[in-house]
Homo-oligomer: A and B are copies of this chain.
Amino acid sequence: MPFNSFEHYPMSWKPDKTQLQRPLYRSLAQLLEHDITHGFLAPGTKLPPQRELADYLDVNFTTITRAYKQCELKGLIYGVTGNGTFVAANAARSVTISKERDSNRYIDLGFVASFEQTNDLVTEVIKDVVEKSYLEELLNYNDPSGIPHHKLAALNWMQTLGINASPEHVAIVSGAQNALTIALLALFEPGNRIAVDLYTYANFIEVSKMLRIRLVPVLGDECGMLPESLEEQCSLLNLHGVFLMPSCANPTTIMMPEKRKVELAQIIQKHRLILIEDDTHAFLSAGIIDHYGQPMYQLLPEQTIYICSTAKSICSGLRVAYIVFHEAFKNKMLKAMYNVNVKTSSLDVEIVTQLILSGKANAIVAMKKELAQTANKTFNEFFPDVSKTGHPLSFFRWLPMARDVDETSSEKFFLKQGVRVFHSNRFLSGNHTGDNFLRVALSSTPSLQELRAGLEMLKKILDECN
C-alpha cells in the first residue's frame, strides 16, 4: 500500500495505473517511451524519483529502475545519481541529419555537403575508368575488404594525412557513417559507454542510440575534449571507448592541437579505451595548418580505429571510406564489415583510386579548400564578431546566439523564413546547457551567390530578433 497520497505532490509524470500490464517494468517503459515521443514529457523534464514513483504505483522501486534503464539505453532519458532522472535533450525526435529532397523551397545551410561543384572532375575520371581493361573484374564478389591496389592507393592518400600503416590493416567501406556503425558493432556491446564531446556528430548520437551504446558527455575547451574531464569520467564510470574528430570536430569546428592529442592519448592508453577517430576533415589540416600535428592513430595505433572518409574531400556520392585498425581488431572488424556490407562496390573504389593516383583528387582538394576559404571569408563578412578560434577552412560554422530560444521552434523559425540551419541542441550528447548555437553549413549551396543570399537572410532574421 502506498503510505503517502500524491494528490498534493504533483509528480511530473503520472502513468495510468490501469494501463499497466505484466511484466510491469516493460509496460512502464513503453508508457514512458510513448509519453516522451508523443511530446507529453518535454526534454529536460525531471521524472519522479524511482522510489516515489514506485510508491505511487505500489511496486518495488527497482522495477522502476528497470523500466527507466530500458529507456535510458534507448537514449530517451538519463539518470544522475543523487540528482534525478531527466528526459534527454533529443529524446522526442530523431536528430538524424540527411539531405532532403525539397531543398529548393529554402536555402540549405543545414546539411553539410562538400562543395559538389567539383564533381565534374570526377566525371572525367569515371570516363577513364570505364576504358580500363579490368573493368569487368570490378563487378564480382572478390576482395570484400578491398582490392590490394585500392588499399595501396588508400595508404598513399592517408600518408599525406600522417598515417603510416600496412595494407593488412586497412579496409574499405561505404563512407564514414558506415565505418562508424561497423566499428560500434564490431567492438562494443549494448550497454557499453563511449565518451564524446558535449556537442558531437548528430548521426553518431543516433547510431549509438540504435545500438544501445551509451554516450558520456565530456567537457571541453577551445582545444577540444579536456583530458582531466575524460579522466574523471573514466574513474566514475566504466568507459569502453571515446569518439573524437581531432582534425575538425563537427559541429564545433574545433581542431585539436598536438599537445591536447598527446594528453588525451595518455588517458586513453591508461584506461585502455578504444578510440574511434573520425578524421574526415584531416585533408583541410594536414600540411596546411602549422600546429596540426598528426592523427591520434599514430599516437595510439593499438587502440585506435581510424576512419578516413573521401566523401568530404573527394566525392560524396561514391561512398568510400578507409578504416585503419590494429591486428587485434582485425577479425572482429572484418566480420562486422562483412555482416553489414559484404563489400563496397569496387567500381566506386576504383574511381576514387584513379582520382588519387592521377592527382585529380589533389586538384579537387585544392578547389575545395579555395571554396572553403571564400565561403568562410563570406561568413566573416556577415558575422564579423564570431570567434575565429575554430578551423579556418571548415565546411560549416558554429554561430553563438545570445538569446534563449525554444529549440524546435528555432529551426522551424528559420526554415519558415527560407533558410535551413541546425540548432545546437541537435548535437547535444547529454543534457541542455542553456547555450544556443547554430551550425551553419557553408558547403551545401550550389553557388557562392546562394550562400551569400542564405547568410544575408540568416543575419537579417537574427538582427530582427535582437
Q: Which residues of A contact B (CB under 8 A)?
A: 94, 96, 98-99, 101, 111, 113-114, 116, 119-120, 122-123, 126-127, 130, 135-136, 138-144, 174-175, 177-178, 181, 185, 190, 203, 206-207, 210-212, 315-319, 335-336, 338-348, 351
Interface centre among A203, A317, A343 (most CB of B within 10 A): A317
Q: Give the residue of B136, B143, B344 whose beta carbon is less than 8 angstroms from that of A101.
A: B143
Q: Give the residue of B99, B123, B342 whose beta carbon is less than 8 angstroms from that of A136.
A: B123
Least Cβ distance of A150 to chain B in Å?
13
Contacts of A116 in B (CB 8 A): 139-141
Complexed CA–CA distance, A142 and B317 (Å): 8
Q: Are B135 and A210 in contact (CB under 8 A)?
A: no
Contacts of A136 in B (CB 8 A): 119-120, 122-123
Q: Are A206 and B345 in contact (CB under 8 A)?
A: no
Complexed CA–CA distance, A342 and B178 (Å): 7
Complexed CA–CA distance, A78 and B113 (Å): 47
Complexed CA–CA distance, A343 and B338 (Å): 18
Interface centre among A96, A98, A211 (most CB of B within 10 A): A98
Contacts of A144 in B (CB 8 A): 98-99
Question: Which chain B residue shows the least CB distance to A147?
Answer: B101
The count of identical subunits is 2
Contacts of A142 in B (CB 8 A): 99, 101
Q: Are B101 and A341 in contact (CB under 8 A)?
A: no
Q: Are A141 and B111 in contact (CB under 8 A)?
A: yes
Complexed CA–CA distance, A68 and B55 (Å): 33
Given A317-B141, A318-B347, A319-B343: A126 touches B119 (CB 8 Å cut-off): no
Can you list 23 contacts pairing A with B, beta carbon distance less than 8 Å? A98-B338, A98-B342, A99-B141, A113-B141, A116-B139, A122-B139, A123-B130, A126-B135, A130-B130, A138-B317, A141-B316, A141-B317, A174-B341, A174-B345, A177-B338, A178-B340, A178-B341, A181-B339, A185-B210, A203-B338, A206-B339, A345-B348, A347-B347
Question: Which chain B residue shows the least CB distance to A186?
Answer: B210
Question: Which chain B residue shows the least CB distance to A144?
Answer: B98
Complexed CA–CA distance, A382 and B254 (Å): 67
Q: Are B348 and A210 in contact (CB under 8 A)?
A: no
Q: Are B119 and A140 in contact (CB under 8 A)?
A: yes
Least Cβ distance of A191 to chain B in Å?
9
Question: Which chain B residue shows the least CB distance to A135?
Answer: B123
Q: Give the residue of B122, B206, B335, B351 whose beta carbon is less than 8 angstroms from that of A206.
A: B335
Given A122-B139, A203-B338: A345 touches B316 (CB 8 Å cut-off): no
Complexed CA–CA distance, A315 and B136 (Å): 11
New A-B pairs, 5, CB < 8 Å, besides A123-B136, A174-B344: A99-B140, A122-B139, A177-B340, A178-B340, A210-B336
Q: Are A345 and B345 in contact (CB under 8 A)?
A: yes
Complexed CA–CA distance, A356 and B111 (Å): 32
Contacts of A339 in B (CB 8 A): 96, 177, 181, 203, 206-207, 210
Q: Are B181 and A340 in contact (CB under 8 A)?
A: yes
Contacts of A342 in B (CB 8 A): 98, 175, 177-178, 319
Least Cβ distance of A171 to chain B in Å?
12
Q: Are B123 and A316 in contact (CB under 8 A)?
A: no
Q: Are B317 and A341 in contact (CB under 8 A)?
A: no
Complexed CA–CA distance, A364 and B15 (Å): 59
Complexed CA–CA distance, A351 and B206 (Å): 31
Complexed CA–CA distance, A272 and B343 (Å): 34
Question: Which chain B residue shows the least CB distance to A346?
Answer: B317
